[in-house]
């Protein structure tokens, strides 16, 4: 009888041990002994305020005998697994509380070979990575070359072409696997202009699952992109600059039309944009130099209002500062067809677009010198 109860106890223990949710990652041919994993609940994804949001948890896990293990969150969460020896892209995966997943990751010369068991999402991600492996190896080999030759336009062009190829292959994978829930994650790698049609073919259960915040964000970005591209057809040299109403730090409303009569510079920027911040000293110099002939207007984009106010205190830009809230098609960066930051528009006293400059371009300052010399 004692042996009977002992066997029952052992069987119960084994059942609990085997059923306990656990994520196991086997790493082969790696030299780094740590892996960084960040994760956040899917329900909070839509409201994240950047990489430092308090909802995102960052864990650094130590690899022991080529293996790391962790227990899933108690709610469906997006995980981003970053391995230093794979430079191009981290592994993104949605993991549920009761999931038991095993990822087997082999480091190849330039990339990773991944196998997965346990869930449809994990297996779908691994299948997608395997499909992309030849392209990813080319991307990563070029990435390493560009680190030593960043000025090579030929290599940079090849690099961008490979990413275009990768996006097209992503769309093909989604079309072949519309019922696999991994599509909700993989959508982020598809061409933006293909997102609406891809979402139309996805299984409705995926669209209305916990994955919906990921899908809706991608759809929103796609519609923003398509609207921006349509605006670019209208926003060009010689066109009438669209009027707008935005608020300064004190909450006072300003319209572009009320500035007519002088030349105007519209500077679309953000505190998150390194090139924008690098250009502030030169902007200060030229605003002081030509403030009698021209009104400078900086329009902050993609920042929270609180961040914008705090950064204005830091950078002391003594010209008109306006805040552009990102609210659908009223977003001024969409209206003006902005695809890169900073973007600067020189507007004539009559309200027409004289020139457009994308990036921190010295030609912008040369043009001001020519206009007001």
Output the pLDDT for position 6.
Answer: 45
Q: Which residue has the tokens 């992109």?
A: 225
Output the pLDDT for position 212.
Answer: 95
Phi first, then psi: what are they for 327, rounded to 5°? -130, 80
Output the pLDDT for position 329.
Answer: 56
Sequential pLDDT tens for the chain (373 residues)? 445 444 444 444 444 444 566 999 999 988 877 899 999 999 999 888 777 788 999 999 999 999 999 999 999 999 999 887 665 578 999 999 999 999 999 988 777 889 999 999 999 999 999 999 999 888 888 887 887 776 678 888 898 899 999 999 999 999 999 999 999 999 999 999 999 999 999 999 999 999 999 999 999 999 999 999 999 999 999 999 999 999 999 999 999 999 999 999 999 999 999 999 999 999 999 999 999 999 999 999 999 899 999 999 999 999 999 999 976 557 999 999 998 999 999 999 999 999 999 999 999 999 999 999 8
Output the pLDDT for position 137.
Answer: 86
Domains with residue ranges and CATH for the chain:
19-222 (no CATH), 245-372 (3.40.30.10)
Output the pLDDT for position 39.
Answer: 95
The answer to whether 23 touches 69, Cβ cutoff 8 Å, is: yes
Output the pLDDT for position 71.
Answer: 94
Output the pLDDT for position 11.
Answer: 42
Instruction: Answer whether 0.95 is exceeded by the pTM.
Output: no
């Amino acid at each position: 009888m004692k042996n009977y109860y002992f066997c029952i106890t052992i069987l119960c223990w084994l059942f609990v041990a085997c059923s306990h949710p656990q994520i196991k990652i086997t790493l082969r041919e790696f030299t780094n002994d740590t892996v960084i994993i960040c994760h956040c609940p899917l329900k909070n994804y839509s409201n994240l305020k950047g990489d430092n949001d308090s909802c995102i948890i960052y864990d650094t896990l130590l690899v022991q005998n080529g293996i790391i293990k962790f227990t899933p969150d108690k709610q469906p969460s997006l995980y981003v697994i970053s391995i230093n020896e794979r430079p191009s892209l981290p592994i993104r995966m949605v993991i549920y509380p009761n999931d038991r997943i095993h990822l087997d990751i082999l480091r190849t010369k330039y990339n990773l070979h991944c196998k997965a068991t346990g869930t449809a999402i994990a297996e779908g991600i691994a299948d997608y990575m395997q499909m992309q492996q030849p392209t990813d190896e080319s991307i990563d080999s070029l990435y390493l070359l560009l680190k030593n030759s960043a000025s090579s336009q030929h290599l940079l062009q090849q690099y961008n072409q490979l990413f275009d190829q990768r996006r097209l292959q992503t769309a093909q994978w989604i079309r072949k696997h519309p019922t696999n829930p991994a599509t909700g994650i993989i959508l982020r790698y598809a061409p933006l202009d293909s997102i609406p049609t891809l979402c139309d073919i996805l299984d409705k259960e995926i669209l209305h699952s916990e994955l919906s915040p990921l899908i809706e964000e991608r759809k929103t970005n796609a519609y923003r992109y398509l609207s921006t591209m349509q605006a670019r057809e209208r926003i060009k040299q010689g066109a009438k600059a669209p009027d707008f109403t935005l608020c300064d730090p004190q909450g006072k409303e300003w319209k572009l039309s009320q500035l007519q009569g002088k030349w105007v510079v519209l500077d679309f920027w953000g505190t998150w944009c390194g090139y924008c911040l690098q250009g502030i000293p030169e902007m200060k110099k030229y605003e002081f130099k030509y403030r009698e002939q021209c009104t400078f207007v900086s329009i902050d984009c993609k920042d929270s209002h609180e961040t914008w106010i705090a950064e204005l205190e830091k950078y002391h830009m003594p010209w008109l500062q306006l805040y552009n809230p990102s609210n659908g098609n009223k977003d001024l960066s969409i209206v003006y067809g902005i695809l890169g930051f900073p973007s600067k528009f020189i507007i004539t006293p009559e309200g027409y677009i004289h020139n457009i400059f994308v990036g921190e371009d010295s030609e912008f300052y040369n043009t001001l010198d020519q206009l007001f010399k």
